[in-house]
Amino acid sequence: MSRPTPLEIHEVAANLDPEFAKAVSRWEVSVGEDSTGDPAIFVTIVFRDAAIHAAWPGRAAFRDRLRDLLFDIAPGYYPFIGFSAESEAINPEQPVRA
Amino acid sequence: MTLHSDLVSQAKRLATLDPKRPRQANLRRSVSSSYYALFHCLVEDGAQKASRASQRSPLWHLVARKFDHKSMRDISQAIASNKEWVIATQLIIPKELRDVADAFVVLQEDRHGADYDRQLRFTRARAIEAVERAESAIAAWDQVRKTEAAALYLLTMLLGPPRK
């Protein structure tokens, strides 16, 4: 892969772990430069609010797998992988009581 | 308490303020503190290793001021992505050290966004992710800080990578 496209990266990320992907509301992917001007891939994984508490503990393992995969398929592009929630205020560590 | 553990506590506190509607200012300062927690953790060890002096010594402070954000990021990128010069050292790079290095790069980028990019909108989840990232990187660092690979990481931050 020379210059990866956001679509290619999206496909790789979304197909890496179908079970994990069920908790994802959307994958925000862009390819460009980081704040120092180096080539970079940005992936923000936005969890569905209803699924975030179950998926949160597994995110580090997923991130590590995706990071290593992106190092292999897009060398020279540093992968920035982050997580967020649909709602601004949701705390993934504190489930809301019904 | 060390400066870096205080910064982690501060980042957690700021990320969980305002339960219903978190303020961007608090979330942004939280993300920034998460980065600085890891930054100071590494500088503390790096200055000690390079100066062989305690934090009470002026020498320690002289060395600590020599750590700069860009060099630390460049070396962290090289360690995390196993660049050629890292492989050429023939040192075994533990997974924990790669995780520390990757966390450093990602947290620094987040910090730039939090401090300078007004277009970004931070969520509480994103701020909590940053503080947990810093916390787990500091824990991983504790596991590897006495290894040769960790010494390579810190000293190349000060001296630069080996010449080709």
pLDDT in tens, B39-79: 999 999 999 999 999 999 999 999 999 999 999 999 999 99
Question: CB distance from A67 to chain B under 8 Å?
Answer: yes
Percent of chain B at pLDDT > 70 equals 100
Q: What is the distance between the alpha carbons of residues A91 and B20, in angstroms, rounded to a whole number?
A: 10
pLDDT, one tens digit per residue, over B77-109 is 999 998 888 888 899 999 999 999 999 999 999
Say if CB B11 and CB B134 are below 8 A apart.
Answer: yes
pLDDT, one tens digit per residue, over A54-70 is 999 999 999 999 999 99
Q: Which of B124, B131, B132 to mutate to test the interface with A (most CBs of A within 10 A)?
A: B124
> Is pLDDT of A97 > 80?
no
> Is pLDDT of A50 > 70?
yes
Residue A2 confidence class, pLDDT cut points 50, 70, 90: confident
Q: List beta partners, residue B83.
A: none
Residue B20 confidence class, pLDDT cut points 50, 70, 90: confident
Sheet holding A78-85, edge to edge: A24-33, A39-47, A78-85
Beta strand residue intervals within A1-98, DSSP E? 24-33, 39-47, 78-85
pLDDT at res. B133: 97
User: Can you tell me which residue has the tokens 């989840």?
Assistant: B125
> Is pLDDT of A9 > 50?
yes
pLDDT at res. A98: 43
Q: What is the mean pLDDT of residues A72-83?
A: 95
pLDDT at res. A1: 57
pLDDT at res. B163: 79
Q: Answer whether A88 sits within 8 Å of B110, measured CB to CB.
A: no
| A:B CB pairs within 8 Å | 65
Question: CB distance from A57 to chain B under 8 Å?
Answer: no
pLDDT at res. A95: 66
Find, in chain B, the residue whose alpha carbon is nearest to that of A94: B16
Q: Which long-range contacts (CB under 8 A, 24 or more apart) does B75-79 make?
A: B75/B101, B75/B153, B75/B156, B75/B157, B75/B161, B76/B100, B76/B101, B76/B102, B76/B104, B76/B105, B76/B153, B77/A38, B77/A78, B77/B101, B77/B105, B78/B156, B78/B161, B79/B153
Comparing CB atoms, the residue among B19, B82, B125 nearest residue A85 is B125
> Is pLDDT of B29 > 90?
yes
Comparing CB atoms, the residue among B21, B73, B123 nearest residue A36 is B73
Question: CB distance from A85 to chain B under 8 Å?
Answer: yes
Q: What is the mean pLDDT of residues A32-60?
A: 95
Q: Answer whether B123 sits within 8 Å of A88, measured CB to CB.
A: yes
> Is pLDDT of A44 > 90?
yes
Q: What is the distance between the alpha carbons of residues A27 and A24, in angstroms, rounded to a whole number?
A: 7
Q: Answer whether B124 sits within 8 Å of A71, measured CB to CB.
A: no
Q: What is the mean pLDDT of residues B121-129?
A: 95
pLDDT, one tens digit per residue, over A19-29 is 999 999 999 99
